[in-house]
Amino acid sequence: MLRIVEKWMDAELVYEKNGYFLRVLLGDQIKSVIKLMAENDDDARKKARRAIYLFLA
């Protein structure tokens, strides 16, 4: 089951049964996927924001 936890302008934080993923979008296509190790939604949001800031800004 796919669940979008949070959505930003060019990225989505997604939860699947395998864990959390940050999907980077280019228009309506997925440009890249970053796997996040997180315990819950709040932890995943913090790590996703940091990844956006460090790697994607």
In the prediction, which pLDDT does 36 show?
95
Number of domains in the chain: 1
Bridge partners of 23? Answer: 12, 33
pLDDT digit string, tens, across residues 12-55: 999 999 899 999 999 889 999 999 999 999 999 999 999 988 87
| Whole-structure pTM value | 0.85
Name every residue whose Cβ is closer than 8 Å to that of residue 20 and which is 6 or more positions away in sequence: 5, 13, 14, 35, 36, 37, 38, 44, 47, 48
For residue 34, the enclosing domain spans 3-56
Residues 6+ apart with CB under 8 A from 45: 5, 6, 13
